[in-house]
């Protein structure tokens, strides 16, 4: 039989730790190798016991679970940290991932979900509580729909034409005559262009056009 998954439980509630230990030790492939009352103890026991998985609470006296996770992952990146918490907040969720944890399970989760999460992170996988996984996907989709920093804003064909004419030295009135529109329309397009491109002068518009190859060939 393969070696058992060695688990360290870090939580400041004695009764909770005892209950989790009983649940885990009933599994043939899991062994609880230690218990910690706070983040400092978790880090110390991580060094001495070298567990495969650390069940880490967030809110503990002294060094909290997030800081303990950062310290442990910085020194022993091969150790997997599975956060077990009552917090459903998105803020905690993303902070946990940033700290280096491989999973996030709510204390209200079913027993088989916790067991499955431990096995998953022990295999090097990431485990997210279903509601939090949904939030992560929602956040990713929201971010991916936003333009990347430094990305060139999309210009309409008319905006590109007006920008080229401006860089050629034509005035608003002259551009209006060439495009058979009113000068006020060209003024509006020019104002919108500067707002869209976050520019404040004709000179900056010309520089923008040069940098992106939008000027007419001589």
Predicted local confidence at residue 45, as pLDDT: 97
Predicted local confidence at residue 32, as pLDDT: 97
d(CA 124, CA 68): 20
Q: Does 7 or 182 have the greater pLDDT score? A: 7
Residue with tokens 């279903």: 130
In the chain, domain spans: 5-144, 157-211
Please state the pTM of the whole predicted model: 0.61
Angle of the 172-179 helix axis to the 157-167 helix axis, nearest 10: 130
Residue 1 has pLDDT above 50, yes or no: no
Residue with tokens 């000027």: 215
CATH 1.10.10.10 fits 157-211, yes or no: yes
What phi, psi does 103 have (nearest 5°)? -170, 165
**In contact, 49 and 33? CB cutoff 8 Å:** yes
Measured CA angle at 181 (ends 177, 182), to 5 deg: 90
Q: Give me the chain's average pLDDT, please.
A: 83
Q: What is the pLDDT of residues 33-60, one digit of tens each?
A: 999 999 999 999 999 999 999 999 988 8
Q: What is the pLDDT of residues 117-127, one digit of tens each?
A: 999 999 999 88
Which fold would CATH assign to domain 5-144? Rossmann fold (3.40.50)
| Confidence band, pLDDT 50/70/90 cuts, at residue 2 | low
Q: Which residues pair with 106 in a beta bridge?
A: 85
Q: What is the pLDDT of residues 70-115, one digit of tens each?
A: 999 999 999 999 998 886 655 567 778 888 999 888 888 888 999 9
Average pLDDT over residues 11-17: 93
Predicted local confidence at residue 50, as pLDDT: 96
Token digits for 35? 């218990």
- Other Cβ atoms closer than 10 A to 37: 17
Predicted local confidence at residue 31, as pLDDT: 96
Give, as one character, the DSSP assignment of residue 140. Answer: H
Kindly report the three-state secondary structure assignment for every residue of 118-173: HHHHHCCCCEECHHHHHHHHHHHHHHHCCCCCCCCCCCCHHHHHHHHHHHCCCCHH
């Amino acid at each position: 039989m393969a070696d058992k998954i060695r688990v360290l439980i870090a939580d400041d509630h004695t009764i909770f730790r005892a209950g989790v230990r009983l649940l885990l030790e009933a599994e043939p492939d899991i062994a609880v190798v230690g218990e910690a009352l706070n983040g400092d103890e978790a880090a110390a026991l991580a060094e001495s016991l070298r567990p495969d998985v650390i069940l880490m609470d967030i809110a503990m006296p002294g060094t909290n679970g997030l800081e303990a996770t950062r310290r442990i992952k910085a020194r022993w990146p091969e150790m997997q940290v599975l956060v077990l918490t009552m917090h459903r907040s998105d803020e905690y969720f993303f902070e946990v991932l940033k700290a280096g944890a491989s999973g996030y399970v709510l204390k209200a989760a079913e027993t088989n979900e916790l067991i499955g999460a431990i096995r998953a992170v022990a295999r090097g996988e990431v485990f997210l509580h279903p509601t939090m996984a949904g939030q992560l996907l929602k956040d990713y989709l929201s971010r991916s729909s936003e333009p990347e920093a430094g990305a060139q804003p999309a210009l309409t064909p008319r905006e590109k034409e007006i920008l080229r004419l401006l860089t050629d030295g034509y005035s608003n009135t002259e551009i209006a005559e060439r495009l058979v529109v009113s000068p006020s329309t060209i003024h509006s397009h020019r104002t919108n262009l500067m707002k869209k491109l976050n520019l404040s002068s004709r000179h900056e518009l010309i520089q923008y056009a040069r940098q992106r190859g939008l000027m007419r060939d001589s």
